[in-house]
């Protein structure tokens, strides 16, 4: 498909999984009704609660969340990125942070387990150690679709350009970055990092995000974005939950790559 509408969904997810899924379904339907053919939900869109409650909230890939998402993709005939869920890891005390791309028939096109885990300490502002409860993935994941090849990543991955270069060299034209970026790091770096990943890899970037105060005691930056291969911000969410849409034009992408063939000029791979 040469050109189509994509949507990034912005949410404020809490500990009530049923309410989160109801909201995610509503916003997905809204995006589809507006014409989006590729719709992306944010990181941990289905549940975000106390770490002590995480084992009970985690699911398998055939659990209630992805069962609902498959049904939605099939009913709405859309490509749907189930931003990320907390996935059980058999035999492990920790879990995966897992993003799943679904086809318009509900089939599972790709499963990506977040490689880079968010362990930071900004004194007086944010302290997070994701590795206490999560296991890092190890696979670089792309999925060939009728819309173009999609490269899957999650949130903190954004700071590691080598991952995105590998995705580009694997054929990615669209990069997905479902996120829950903290406000301090987001205010400083979110825009420039997303635009950089789009520019240096000459890809469209879809970055749906969490917004506002969360259960962990700090705020998420929001500013869900869709950016084109020239680094232009095509859509940005305001300070609330909702949907932003933008056209993705694959002919334009190929023109950018043809006129400024930096990927072809790369000497180091």
Give catalytic residues, as residue numbers.
43, 114, 155
DSSP secondary structure string, the chain?
A: --EEEEEEEEB---S-HHHHHHHHHHHHHHHHHTTEEEEE--TT-S----GGGHHHH-B-TTSHHHHHHHHHHHHHT-EEEEEEEEE--TT-SSBEEEEEEE-TTS-EEEEEE--S--EEEETTTEEEEGGGTB------EEE--TT--EEE--GGGGG-HHHHHHHHHTT-SEEE--B--BHHHHHHHHHHHHHHHHHHHT-EEEE-BBEEE-TTSSEEE---EEE-TTS-EEEE--SSSEEEEEEEEHHHHHHHHHHS-HHHH----
């Amino acid at each position: 498909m040469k050109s189509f509408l994509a949507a990034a969904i912005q949410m404020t997810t809490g500990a009530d999984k049923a309410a989160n899924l109801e909201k995610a379904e509503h916003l997905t339907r809204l995006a589809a009704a507006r014409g989006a053919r590729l719709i992306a939900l944010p990181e941990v869109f289905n549940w975000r609660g106390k770490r002590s409650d995480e084992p009970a909230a985690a699911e398998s890939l055939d659990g209630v969340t992805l069962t609902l998402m498959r049904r939605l993709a099939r009913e709405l005939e859309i490509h749907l990125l189930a931003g990320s869920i907390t996935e059980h890891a058999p035999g492990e005390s920790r879990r995966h942070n897992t993003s799943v791309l679904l086809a318009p028939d509900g089939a599972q096109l790709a499963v990506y387990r977040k490689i880079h885990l968010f362990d930071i300490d900004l004194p007086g502002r944010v302290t997070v150690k994701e590795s206490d409860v999560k296991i890092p993935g190890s696979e670089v994941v792309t999925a060939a679709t009728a819309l173009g090849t999609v490269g899957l990543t999650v949130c903190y991955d954004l700071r590691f350009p080598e991952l995105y270069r590998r995705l580009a060299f694997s054929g990615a034209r669209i990069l997905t970055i479902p996120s829950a970026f903290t406000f301090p790091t987001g205010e400083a770096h979110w825009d420039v990092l997303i635009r950089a990943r789009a520019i240096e890899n000459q890809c469209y970037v879809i970055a749906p995000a969490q917004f506002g105060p969360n259960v962990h005691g700090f705020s998420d930056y929001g500013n869900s974005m869709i950016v084109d291969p020239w680094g232009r911000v095509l859509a940005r969410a305001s300070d609330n939950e909702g949907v932003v849409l933008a056209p993705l034009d694959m002919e334009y992408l190929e023109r950018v790559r043809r006129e400024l063939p930096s990927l072809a000029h790369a000497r180091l791979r």
